[in-house]
Chain A
Amino acid sequence: EAQVTQNPRYLITVTGKKLTVTCSQNMNHEYMSWYRQDPGLGLRQIYYSMNVEVTDKGDVPEGYKVSRKEKRNFPLILESPSPNQTSLYFCASSLTGGGGYTFGSGTRLTVV
């Protein structure tokens, strides 16, 4: 089944403790992206990647890192999480050229 898989689904952590949210897609998509969803603000892009070893900042990149060493994986790294990063995170992938994205099921992160 074609899908984007995120892990974990739920995560509670403490301020300053480094964490990684994994994302993997099995559709051979070149393009991958991370979004966060917050009430009243909708979905905002954090980082995106056009292909292996090509990443760039989205609208709200502060406090996040990404890497794209393989085509299928695009992990989101929070080096020193803070409470304002409490949010619902989505990974998405697509072919380049204007088609729709396929989204993962989301990761609900709480930073206390």
Chain B
Amino acid sequence: GDSVTQMEGPVTLSEEAFLTINCTYTATGYPSLFWYVQYPGEGLQLLLKATKADDKGSNKGFEATYRKETTSFHLEKGSVQVSDSAVYFCALRAGANSKLTFGKGITLSVRP
């Protein structure tokens, strides 16, 4: 079945550091790929998405590129802020039932 693997966390960075969160996937067909963010005490918000190979999703300074050859969708940001502290989930959507399959999430803490 479909699956998403995220790097182990948590991750702690200093403000203005470069961020990379790795995400790889296994899926049949051509899934759509997503990053969701969950701030403390809140629901999940869509951060960015890509629907086909080589697409780059971007939002709020975050970027991720759909790499079919390496089945990856790594999240990057050039300069993190304290306000980026949250849990980040990589996800894919595929199949006739349009199911969204999540990775386990990674907690990012950014210190001033």
Contact = CB atoms under 8 A, between A and B. Distances in A.
Do A and B assemble together? yes
Interface residues of B, number: 20
Interface string B82-103: 0000000100010001111011
Q: SS class of chain B's interface: helix, strand, loop or mixed?
A: strand
Interface in A17-63: 31, 33, 40-43, 45, 48, 50, 56, 58
B43 A98 contact: no
A92 to B, nearest CB: 7
Contact of B89 (A43, A50, A102, A105): A43
A76 B34 CA distance: 25
Given A42-B105, A90-B43, A100 B49 contact: yes
A102 B43 CA distance: 10
B69 interface: no
Interface of B: 32, 34, 36, 42-46, 49, 51, 89, 93, 97-100, 102-105
